[in-house]
Amino acid sequence: MLGSLEVLCGQMLVVGLAGTELTASEQRALAAGKRAGVVLFRRNIAASMGDVAALNAAVLEAAPVDLPPLIAVDQEGGRVMRLGLPAMQLPPMRTLGGLNDVALVRRLAEAQARELAALGFTMTFSPVADVHTRDENPIIGDRAFASSPEAVAAMASAFAEGLKRGGVLSCAKHFPGHGDTTVDSHLALPRVDRALADLERLELAPFRALAQDQRVDAMMTAHVVYPALDAAQPATLSHAICTRLLRETMGFEGVLFSDDLEMKALTMPIAEAAVRAVAAGCDVLLLCSREGAADEAHEALIREAEKSTVFKARCEQALLRAVAMRRRVSPSPVAREADLARVFEASRPMVSELESRLASCAKLASR
């Protein structure tokens, strides 16, 4: 099945779904190998966790047997969580980082991963490896573990290790660092005007550490311009950043995801953004809203691969890397509600321990 350009290029696309059940067109695209997997948002989360597991089971059933789908979710904690109760409700990562306990962070991530795996998810787009350096940042803020790159690296590494122990893939974001922006890349294109030495010391340091210890399975790019690294284009579209810096200098061997190509930071047509992101070094493209946008990206990748042997080779490299990762963690949704309930109940001791630690810290702070 991997022999066709249609499948080769389709297996680079992870897409959003319209609702709480697969549509006929979504099912057909998965079955034909035109999609690598899905990412779920609040619009896809039904009231029952059993319904979430059923949706993920439908994605698994639709996908070709030899190409297990990626089933992802943003379940960081704090203000970025798609799943409500009874799923574990982690506080913002800044709160966890403030406890200064990497062992606790590791165990919390493991408990969260066991819940996600039971629902059929194979990846959560975390940990956040951005460094909080600007209070007016509208998009990162308390999503970052700390203001110290060393603390961020330690916490992010522990979180990724915990996810792995719990059976879920990790994806560190947003490379090469979104913590110093004053603009939300969902709405416009931010810039980070730090000198190269400062980028090396702050933004890049956690990602370098994660690349070297190989704890994270994947990283996600930022739609942000860093003039000291590439003055002409945002990181997602930059060969200098995605390939020369991340792959060749830092030695990262995992999968590189683009952030959502439908975000307003990227002003060019989806077709152009898709081709440029892959050429820059992205292995998987996120298209989180419009089904038509995923179709446009797919068609553009096929056209480029037809006319460029260099681009086709880049797609083949990306495919091998991403499929190898996906095969390490196949979706395993739990079918029975009672069995799911037991998984969530098993997390209660960790939740209670976290609540106790937070209460103790609050009490100390009030003295």
Amino acid in the structure at residue 315: C
Distance CA 263, CA 220 (A): 14
| 142 given a catalytic annotation | no
Q: What Rg value do the Cα atoms of the chain yield, rounded?
A: 20
Output the six-digit token pair for 138.
Answer: 């509208």
Per-residue DSSP letters for 157-188? HHHHHHHHHHT-EEEEEEET--TT-SS-TTTS
Tokens 């803020």, located at residue: 141
- Contact of 288 with 38, CB cutoff 8 Å: no
| 198 given a catalytic annotation | no
Catalytic residue among 130, 180, 230, 259: 259
Output the six-digit token pair for 195.
Answer: 């000198």
Bond prior to 64 in cis (omega within 30° of 0)? no
- Written in H, E and C, the secondary structure of 20-47 is CCCCHHHHHHHHCCCCCEEEECHHHCCC
Active-site residues: which are they? 186, 259
